[in-house]
Amino acid sequence: MAFLQPAPAVVGPVSLTALVGLIVLVHFGLNVFILGSVSDKSVIVSGVEISSTLQYALGAFCLLGLPLTVHGGVGAVYRVPGHLHTYLWYLFAFLAAGAACLISVAVLQRPCHTREPTGGDVLATMVCGLPNFTSMVFLALFLIVVSVAIYLVWSLSENVQRRLETDLFRYQEPLQLKAQLGEQAMQQARQAAGSGKSAHRGGIPGALWNSVAL
């Protein structure tokens, strides 16, 4: 995502960390809802029949997402970029699953389907067109929301990474200065020792160890 710029640390009146925390909370609740909706019978959603096997696979995916969302929440609160990167990859997988659902509704939906009578209805009704189109619109909006969530999580990860690099440089400068001063002190000590030896051997005029005086 080098062509994108991260979002600022404060988006409107809300901090970026709070937004990511809200995303994680909503995502966790959505996973729990989908996991609780898994059935051992085939169901029809927006004119598309979802088998029990596919429901089990979707439930397993959401079950895997429970610890990963908590993992991402911990990364957002304690500013751990590795946790945020892991959660970001799961969001990409979640986006791919949503896109697959949208394609399935667009390709496999039936033009019309019969709705069984419920409550006081006596006759079954046939539903065509509009509900399927509405489902596709909601799925498209859902994909847009997930894409925005991915961008915000990535922005927080980039901001945390840059902050860590800045802190590293800030702590590195005093250490480099101390090392440089130590090297200069050692170099001066070596020069002083070399000057003493040359003075002892060469015979400085007036010195007690002058070879001429001896």
Measured in residues, the chain has a length of 214
Which tokens hold the place of 144?
A: 């847009």
What mean pLDDT comes out for the span 166-170? Answer: 60
- Give me the pLDDT at residue 156, please: 92
User: What is each CA distance from 176 to 128, 166, 186, in whole angstroms?
Assistant: 73, 15, 15
- Looking at every residue in the chain, the average pLDDT score rounds to 78
- Give me the pLDDT at residue 93, please: 94
pLDDT tens-digit profile of 14-40?
A: 899 999 999 999 999 999 999 998 888
Partnered with residue 125 across adjacent β-strands are 115
% of the chain surpassing 90 pLDDT: 31
What mean pLDDT comes out for the span 168-187? Answer: 66
pLDDT tens-digit profile of 120-164?
A: 555 555 555 555 677 778 888 999 999 999 999 999 999 888 887
SS3 (DSSP) at 45: strand
* DSSP string over 72-100: HHHHHHHT-HHHHHHHHHHHHHHHHHHHH
pLDDT tens-digit profile of 107-122?
A: 766 555 555 666 555 5
| Confidence tier at 185 by pLDDT (50, 70, 90) | confident
Q: Which 8-state DSSP code applies to residue 208?
A: T
What mean pLDDT comes out for the span 168-177? Answer: 59
Q: What angle do CA 45, 50, 56 make, to 5 degrees?
A: 125
Instruction: Write down the H helix ranges in the chain.
Output: 16-36, 52-78, 81-108, 130-202
SS3 (DSSP) at 47: coil
